[in-house]
Structure 1
Amino acid sequence: MNRPTLFVPITQDLVSDQEQALAEIHPCFNLEAPLLRKKSFGNGDSREMHDEKMYKLKILLESLANSTSKAEKRISDHRSQKEEALSFRVAKSNEVHQAEKEDELLKFIASCRAEAEVVDTWIKFLEDTWILQTTYAEQKEKQFLTTMSIVETMKKQFYVPTEGIVRKDDQKIREPFDGIEKLRDEFESIERSTVTTLLGGRHCS
């Protein structure tokens, strides 16, 4: 035999309880902010792109070091030739030519070293930026997941089945919960997309 459905009379205490429940749920709508920040982070460099930039910069740095080493060797060779020329009393014009070559090589070495310093600084900047970026994203993700866990607990408590009682405020409470559930689904879809991108990049490499 079906039991008759009981309608709970609206009292001041019930209204107060409803207002308190809505007040507790309302801050959860602010979860859109960290979700948007996560999206913007997803639009930044992937791990694969970051590694590619670092690889190219390190290749450039190595090339500059090799060029500097070769130029220094040429200076050493020119000085040896100069000494030999002096020994055999070669014409003065040849000595001037050797000096000009040495000056050009010294300028080239200075330029290579200056450029190498810039590249090295840029590499360190990219490494530090990547660490800050990933750390910030991880912190925001933990905050989001913690908040979602709290909301899930509230949701379970609110929907504890009460036999024979119909709550007239169900729709008011259900709408915020549904909105939060959509946020969580969107967050998880971003997670899956990020993992797929990373796995795809590793496979290609």
Structure 2
Amino acid sequence: MNLSLFDDDDFAAIGPVPLVPGSTGSTLLRGFALSRVAPLLAALDAIVQAAPLRHMATPGGLRMSVAMSNCGQLGWVTDTRGYRYVRQDPDGSAPWPPMPPVFLELAREAAAAAGYPGFMPDACLLNRYVPGARMALHQDKDECDFTAPIVSVSLGLPATFLFGGALRADRAARIVLLHGDVVVWGGPDRLRYHGVAPLKDGQHAVLGAQRINLTFRKAA
């Protein structure tokens, strides 16, 4: 899968804004990653060559519609044994590819811009959505350190991000995320339920009929 050799979209980044009205822990950074799209995609190509994207299974045996891989010291996996972080790729028994400097720099700068200086992620989840793929409402709670934020980077087709509350039943806000947008949440919002609505059909000028999501976490 060749994701590189594309030009960035001609959009400008804007300053940080609250992800939802009244939020004190979550921030939307429109276009924050646009200036780094080319090196991000080149690095992504190298990662998926070493650790290919795959459709993991939930503990209940359901095949996830999102194809996933990881880079960094730890990688998130799911199978019949549950959700967890591991140091080696279960498909190849080799360590996950190291986190590229351009990934780390983007995550740290986005976290700082959202009010979380000193963020040092040790895991980056790579998620590939095609039309129809979705992510059910869930909490990111497999990490050991809930004081660190989550940094999520969107590339490719627009997606509707669902940002709920402390309970799964809480009504979720619907925020459209565009190519180059970055969302950061932590502090009082760290364990809010969130997900992605089914991706709509479309063709993005850079990535075609897909959305790539990079999710940075401090897992250990």
TM-score range with shorter-chain normalisation?
A: under 0.3
Q: Which has the higher helix share?
A: 1
- Structure of higher RCO (CA pairs closer than 8 Å, 6+ residues apart): 1
